[in-house]
């Protein structure tokens, strides 16, 4: 069943987008997307670049010193390309690990990556909560419950990672085939616990994450105004956060289909035509594709100029890994 999951994600995205375009006028969607002023698109691209840079700086806080800034940028940009693979966001995260595997151990990188993802999701929830405090639209209480639930789950994962992993390792020790898996989980969880105890590290990560996520939300707000969507900014920010949280669920290709359907349904609460909502979502996705294109170019350049033996990276040993000290 696991081998068919990537195919299922692609099919789900195709069916979701196809269903939306069946019920709404495709020509209207295309016309409204193409009517966006070039200046608006340019500012949106700039915001995307700023959000990406802030996210890279945030991830660097927990990467070991052996990983340079240029290598971090390359890994992050390449992850955009792999996130559009059938494996979805999982493929993007694996792309980061593969790109940096020659610089540090996989367990060290995995601990840093999971901490970065959890704090990033927490930051997105905080942006949504900021929108909720000022929003006066319908169903804001239900959205609050959803966002708070995800935020609490992330907090539990950070705070109780090591105790939970010890239970997993103890259960895995009963089977000699699962011992290595249990030890790996425990090693990564110890890194998460270590990061969570470093003074001000979570505060710094959340601060950078909130600004980065706010820049991403600002892209939607900017495009929405250009498309004539007049939903109040706090309400729109909350709706965008909820739609992007839904897109994190690994059932589609890079959230394609889930994000569009969510925005159509949520913006309908504010009487926004479905064509406008789809045009908004697909235009924002097109800006994300610029990151995908950049990642593809970087990866193609590496494959063309690297020796054959570097195409498939060799993973370093992990049995003597030490917890990497986060950057100040």
Average pLDDT of the residues in 36-45: 94
pLDDT at 171: 67
pLDDT of residue 238: 87
Q: Compute the distance between CA of residue 287 and CA of residue 183 in angstroms, rounded to an integer.
A: 40
User: pLDDT of 53-92, one tens digit each?
Assistant: 999 999 999 998 888 899 999 999 988 888 877 666 777 8
* Confidence at residue 3, expressed as pLDDT on a 0 to 100 scale: 62
Instruction: Give the range among 22-36, 187-201, 221-235 with minimum mean pLDDT.
Output: 187-201
Ramachandran region, residue 67 (left: φ > 0; alpha: ψ -120 to 50; beta: rest): beta
Q: Which 3-state string (H, E, C) describes the chain?
A: CHHHHHHHHHHHHHHHHHHHHHHCCHHHHHHHHHCCCHHHHHHHHHHHHHHHHHHHHHHHCCCCCCCCHHHHHHHHHHHHHHHCCCCCHHHHHHHHHHHHCCCCCHHHHHHHHHHHHHHHHHHHHHHHHHHHHHCCCCCHHHHHHHHHHHHHHHHHHHHCHHHHHHHHHHHHCCCCCCHHHHHHHHHHHHHHHHHHHCCCHHHHHHHHHHHHHHHHHHHHHHHHHHCCCCCCHHHHHHHHHHHHHHHHCCCCCCCCCHHHHHHHHHHHCCCCCHHHHHHHHHHHHHHHHHHHHHHHHHHHHHHHHCCHHHCCCCCCCCCCCCCCCCCC
pLDDT tens-digit map of 85-130 = 766 677 788 888 888 888 888 888 888 998 999 899 889 888 888 8
pLDDT tens digits, 159-180: 777 777 777 667 666 666 666 6
Q: Quick one: pLDDT at residue 152?
A: 85
The dihedral through the CA atoms of 57, 59, 62, 64 has a sign that is negative
pLDDT number for residue 322: 47
- Report the interhelical angle of 274-305 vs 5-23 (nearest 10°): 140
| Tens of pLDDT, residues 276-326 | 999 999 999 999 999 889 888 888 877 777 654 444 454 444 444 444 555
Higher pLDDT, 163 or 142: 163
Confidence of residue 42 (pLDDT cuts 50, 70, 90): very high
CA 107/CA 286 separation, integer angstroms: 33
Percent with pLDDT over 90 in the chain: 29
CB 237 within 8 A of CB 245: no
Residue 137 pLDDT? 55
């Amino acid at each position: 069943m696991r081998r068919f999951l990537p195919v299922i994600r692609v099919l789900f995205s195709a069916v979701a987008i196809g269903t939306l375009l069946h019920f709404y006028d495709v020509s209207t969607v295309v016309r409204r997307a193409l009517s966006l002023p070039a200046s608006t698109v340019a500012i949106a691209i700039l915001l995307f670049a700023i959000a990406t840079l802030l996210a890279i700086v945030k991830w660097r806080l927990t990467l070991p010193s052996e990983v340079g800034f240029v290598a971090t940028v390359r890994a992050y940009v390449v992850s955009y390309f792999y996130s559009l693979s059938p494996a979805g966001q999982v493929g993007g995260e694996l792309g980061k690990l593969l790109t940096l595997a020659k610089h540090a151990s996989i367990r060290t990188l995995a601990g840093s990556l999971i901490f970065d993802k959890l704090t990033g999701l927490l930051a997105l929830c905080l942006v949504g909560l900021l929108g909720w405090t000022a929003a006066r639209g319908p169903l804001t209480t239900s959205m609050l419950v959803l966002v708070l639930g995800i935020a609490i789950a992330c907090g539990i994962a950070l705070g109780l990672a090591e105790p939970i992993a010890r239970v997993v390792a103890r259960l895995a020790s009963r089977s000699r085939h699962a011992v290595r898996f249990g030890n790996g989980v425990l090693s990564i969880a110890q890194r998460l616990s270590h990061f969570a105890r470093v003074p001000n590290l979570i505060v710094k990560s959340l601060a950078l994450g909130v600004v980065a996520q706010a820049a991403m939300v600002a892209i939607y707000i900017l495009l929405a105004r250009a498309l004539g969507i007049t939903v109040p900014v706090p309400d729109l920010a909350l709706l965008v956060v909820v739609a992007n949280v839904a897109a994190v669920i690994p059932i589609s290709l890079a959230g394609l289909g889930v994000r569009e359907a969510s925005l159509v349904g949520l913006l309908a609460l504010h009487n926004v035509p479905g064509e406008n909502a789809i045009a908004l979502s697909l235009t924002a996705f097109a800006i994300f594709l610029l990151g995908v294109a950049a990642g593809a170019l970087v990866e193609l350049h590496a494959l063309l100029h690297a020796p054959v033996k570097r195409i498939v990276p060799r993973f370093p040993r992990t049995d003597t890994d030490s917890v990497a000290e986060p950057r100040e």
